[in-house]
């Protein structure tokens, strides 16, 4: 039986530790076991081996039917909660309960970051703010010889000005060279950056898995894109990229108390950034000045390494390219789970075409 192809599973998950729960699994092609995802917990085989007999290795099957999700859990005070067990999560797809097949609390994977810097004319007075923000973030998060990032600017159109590198000094030099001017093609930038994240540099070692992230520093306005917001968001979801947006819009600041600026409304650009972050499982920040960014960057870095890995095999066997809604809840009272809202159950042809 040909296994279900779901875009939520990347090629590195073609060999995962599954147990022989059914006759179909027993007939599947056996392959050598790869290392499990960091911290992953798998279900134990049923039954025990008789005393004196050598324990048999669990059967390994090849499948492309797993959907995997990275989730962040916080309490009411927005503190990260990192001590939950598999049994404390409930996963549903389109309202139907799903069985968690793999679970892990350690997702300290190499990061592949697309940094998108708005260089349009509308942010000219705030370009230095953006540059400082970008450099601060990279300096706080990038780990040499492990993480990599590329820099993309966007005004009339997006442009990769620095390809993947783990050298923060190279990224810093590229950021400082940028000048503002032109329109704003935010949607096009997210669309193209997501496509670039689909096939990032693979880390050395036994585990080829990476964590895909887009960091967008912009005011959220778009007046020149060829792609609609929905198309760009779909591209990010297909790439399994979480979008972390940092707003450069300072029009919301209340000056009644300059020492404690507060946001009194969200303008259209803010709402766009919020939409990208919510749907992809990321987060949006509204800093007042560069000094306020430090804690935001610490939070992003901590969040990326304080998440849960959850994988399940969807009960819906159709591979029709339709969007499927994912909902993840934690049993403990008062906890908030943040993860991507869904995925596209793409056919093999559709999935392979995404990297074109």
Residues 321 and 285 in one domain: no
Spell out the per-residue pLDDT of the chain, length 356, in tens.
Answer: 434 444 444 444 333 333 333 334 333 333 333 334 443 443 333 333 333 443 333 332 323 468 989 999 999 998 999 999 999 999 999 999 999 999 988 667 889 999 999 999 988 888 887 888 889 889 988 988 999 999 999 999 999 999 999 999 999 999 999 999 999 999 999 999 999 999 999 998 887 878 899 999 998 999 999 999 999 999 999 999 999 998 888 665 555 555 655 555 788 999 999 999 999 999 998 887 666 766 777 778 888 888 999 999 999 988 888 999 999 999 999 999 999 999 999 754 344 344 43
- How far apart CA 209 and CA 223 sit, in angstroms, is 36
Which pLDDT score is estimated for 240? 92
Radius of gyration of the chain (CA): 22
Which pLDDT score is estimated for 253? 52
Residue 4 located in a structural domain? no
Residues 324-351 as b/e (b if ≥16 CB within 10 A, e otherwise) read bebebebeeeeeebbbbbbbbbbbeebb
Q: Cβ–Cβ contacts within 10 Å for residue 213, how many? A: 23
Residues 276 and 323 in one domain: no
Residue whose C-alpha is closest to residue 192's, from 209, 214, 173: 214
Domain that holds residue 248: 111-304
Q: Cβ–Cβ contacts within 10 Å for residue 56, how many? A: 8
Residues 146 and 274 in one domain: yes
Residues 322 and 293 in one domain: no
Residue 88 located in a structural domain? yes
Residue 5 located in a structural domain? no
* Counted domains in the chain: 2
Residues 116 and 163 in one domain: yes
- How far apart CA 26 and CA 282 sit, in angstroms, is 39
Angle separating helix axes 293-304 and 127-141, nearest 10 degrees: 40
| Residues 131, 118 contacting (CB under 8 angstroms) | no
- How far apart CA 355 and CA 350 sit, in angstroms, is 10
Tokens 């880390």, residue located: 203
Residues 349 and 260 in one domain: no
Q: Is 144 helix (H, G, I), strand (E, B) or coil?
A: coil
Residue 70 located in a structural domain? yes
- How far apart CA 327 and CA 94 sit, in angstroms, is 8
Total number of residues shown for the chain: 356
Residues 284 and 161 in one domain: yes
Domain limit, last residue, from 280, 304, 328: 304
Residues 311 and 299 in one domain: no
- How far apart CA 150 and CA 165 sit, in angstroms, is 6
Domain limit, last residue, from 289, 304, 319: 304
Q: Is 236 helix (H, G, I), strand (E, B) or coil?
A: helix
Residue 354 φ then ψ, to 5°: -70, -25
Residue 97 φ then ψ, to 5°: -65, 140
220 φ/ψ sector (left φ>0, alpha ψ -120 to 50, else beta): left
pTM, two decimal places: 0.76
Give the angle subtended at the CA of 71 by the CAs of 295 and 104, to the nearest 5°.
Answer: 110
Which are the contacts of 163, defined by CB distance < 8 A and separation ≥ 6? 150
Which are the contacts of 201, defined by CB distance < 8 A and separation ≥ 6? 112, 148, 164
Residues 81 and 181 in one domain: no
Residue whose C-alpha is closest to residue 70's, from 245, 212, 219, 220: 212
Residue 6 located in a structural domain? no
According to DSSP, residue 315 is labeled: S
Residues 85 and 231 in one domain: no
Alpha carbons within 13 angstroms on the beta-carbon side of residue 182 total: 17
Tokens 């592949």, residue located: 112
What separation in angstroms does the CA of 282 have from each of 70, 171, 240, 294?
10, 23, 11, 18
| Residues 149, 310 contacting (CB under 8 angstroms) | no
Which pLDDT score is estimated for 310? 93
Which pLDDT score is estimated for 78? 87
Which pLDDT score is estimated for 44? 35
Q: Cβ–Cβ contacts within 10 Å for residue 281, how many? A: 25
Which pLDDT score is estimated for 335? 97
208 φ/ψ sector (left φ>0, alpha ψ -120 to 50, else beta): alpha
Which pLDDT score is estimated for 1? 44
- Looking up residue 154, the CATH number of its domain turns out to be 3.40.50.410
Alpha carbons within 13 angstroms on the beta-carbon side of residue 242 total: 23
- How far apart CA 138 and CA 179 sit, in angstroms, is 19
């Amino acid at each position: 039986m040909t296994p279900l192809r779901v875009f939520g599973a990347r090629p590195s998950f073609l060999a995962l530790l599954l147990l022989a729960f059914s006759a179909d699994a027993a007939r599947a092609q056996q392959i050598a076991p790869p290392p499990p995802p960091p911290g992953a917990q798998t279900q134990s085989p049923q039954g025990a081996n008789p005393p004196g007999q050598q324990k048999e290795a669990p059967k390994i099957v090849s499948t492309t039917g797993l959907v995997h999700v990275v989730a962040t859990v916080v309490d009411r005070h927005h503190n990260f909660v990192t001590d939950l067990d598999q049994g404390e999560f409930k996963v549903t797809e389109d309202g139907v309960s799903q069985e968690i097949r793999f679970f892990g609390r350690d997702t300290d994977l190499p990061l592949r970051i697309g940094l998108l810097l708005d260089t349009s004319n509308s942010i000219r007075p705030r370009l230095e703010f953006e540059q400082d923000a970008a450099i601060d973030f990279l300096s706080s998060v990038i780990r040499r010889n492990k993480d990599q990032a590329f820099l993309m600017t966007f005004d009339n159109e997006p442009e990769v000005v620095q390809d993947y590198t783990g050298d923060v000094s190279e990224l810093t030099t590229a950021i400082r060279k940028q000048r503002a001017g032109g329109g704003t093609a935010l949607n096009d930038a997210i669309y193209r950056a997501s496509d670039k994240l689909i096939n990032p540099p693979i880390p050395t070692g036994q585990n080829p898995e990476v964590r895909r992230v887009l960091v967008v520093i912009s005011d959220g306005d778009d007046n020149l894109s060829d792609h609609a917001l929905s198309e760009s968001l779909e591209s990010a979801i297909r790439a399994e990229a979480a979008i972390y947006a940092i707003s450069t819009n300072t029009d919301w600041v209340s000056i009644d108390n300059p020492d404690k600026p507060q946001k009194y409304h969200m303008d259209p650009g803010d709402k766009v950034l919020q939409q990208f972050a919510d749907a992809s499982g990321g987060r949006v920040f509204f800093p007042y000045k560069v000094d306020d960014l430090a804690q935001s960057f610490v939070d992003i870095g901590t969040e990326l390494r304080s998440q849960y890995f959850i994988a399940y095999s969807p009960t819906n066997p159709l591979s029709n390219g339709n969007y499927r809604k994912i909902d993840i809840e934690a049993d403990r009272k008062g906890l908030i789970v943040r993860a991507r809202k869904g995925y596209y159950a793409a056919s093999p042809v559709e999935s392979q075409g995404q990297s074109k």
